[in-house]
Chains A and B, each alone.
Chain A
């Protein structure tokens, strides 16, 4: 696994309209992690959706696989300044997990195996803007990249696309997640360069 060195071998972002400000393009898929890789057997995998009234819906892997999935190609942007263009994934739109709930929540706090969390306004998870993905580039999603399933919210910086997801806590207020509580921006729009609090 090579260590990524910024600006080395990466193409400049100046001319490509797909690349947000301050980013460079890489062909690698760097592994960013806040802890040990989680190895979760799909038989043990659970995904809990908790609504504001405390009611909980639990999804098994079997039920996730039974939902209609879609393959899509998007660009991804990491706050550590690399962008990767044209990445192909397969997953279930988050809206298909939430639409039936009729929730009054405004925010989501996404939880993960290993303890990671990230906060996202609920509307950014709906309308085909976010997926629970389980395939990358035509193959099973590798655990180092968040398999068996990760969130993918490509219009926000990649720390929002939490690896090893195991639940969504729906909330009326916004509770900050792992990096958002340590100086990173609560929303994280790469096109506005919302890297840090106050950006």
Chain B
């Protein structure tokens, strides 16, 4: 369904750095888009990783549902655009 020159990868492309932030395997996190209400596992959102930082977009409506970037000594996270992130508790 992607346009041939749409450079989106699936969410697994950001599993490494995001798992580092959250301290859990993030691919099963369920993210709900604020714009259209669609919920999807992180592994299935669109990830644009060839840029200064990474951008996660809803596959249903293309809205930005998260962004993160790494600077020299920090990780920057912006989750505006998503209503919720549901992580499985491990106790």
A contacts, CB < 8 Å to B: 1, 3-4, 30-37, 79-80, 115, 143-144, 159, 179, 181-184, 195-197, 199
Instruction: Indicate if the CB atoms of B55 and A196 lie closer than 8 Å.
Output: no
B78 at the interface (CB under 8 A from A): yes
Q: CA separation between A2 and B71, bound complex, in Å? A: 25
Determine whether the beta carbon of B64 is less than 8 Å from that of A179.
Answer: no
Whether B76 contacts A183 by the Cβ 8 Å rule is yes
Contacting chain A: which of B18-26, B36-44, B45-53, B82-90?
A: B45-53
CA distance A159 to B52 in the complex (A): 8
Question: Which secondary structure dominates where chain B touches chain A?
Answer: loop
Bound Cα distance A195, B67 (Å)? 17
Alpha-carbon separation in the docked complex, A36 to B6 (Å):
6
Contacts of A1 in B (CB 8 A): 5, 7
**Further pairs besides A34-B55, A182-B76: 5, Cβ < 8 Å:** A1-B5, A34-B51, A79-B52, A183-B71, A183-B76
Q: Is the interface of A mostly helix, strand, loop or mixed?
A: loop
**Are A182 and B50 also in contact (CB < 8 A) when A36-B62, A37-B3 are?**
no
Binary contact track B50-65/A, C-beta < 8 Å → 1, others 0: 1111010100001010
State the B residues within 8 Å of A (CB): 3, 5-8, 48, 50-53, 55, 57, 62, 64, 67-72, 74, 76, 78
Q: A33-B48, A196-B71, A196-B72 are in contact. Are A182 and B53 (CB under 8 A)?
A: yes
Given A115-B64, A196-B71; A36-B53 close (CB under 8 Å): no
Contact between B50 and A31, CB atoms less than 8 A apart? yes
Query: What are 7 sample pairs from A and B whose C-beta atoms fall under 8 A apart?
Result: A31-B7, A35-B48, A35-B57, A35-B64, A80-B50, A182-B53, A195-B72
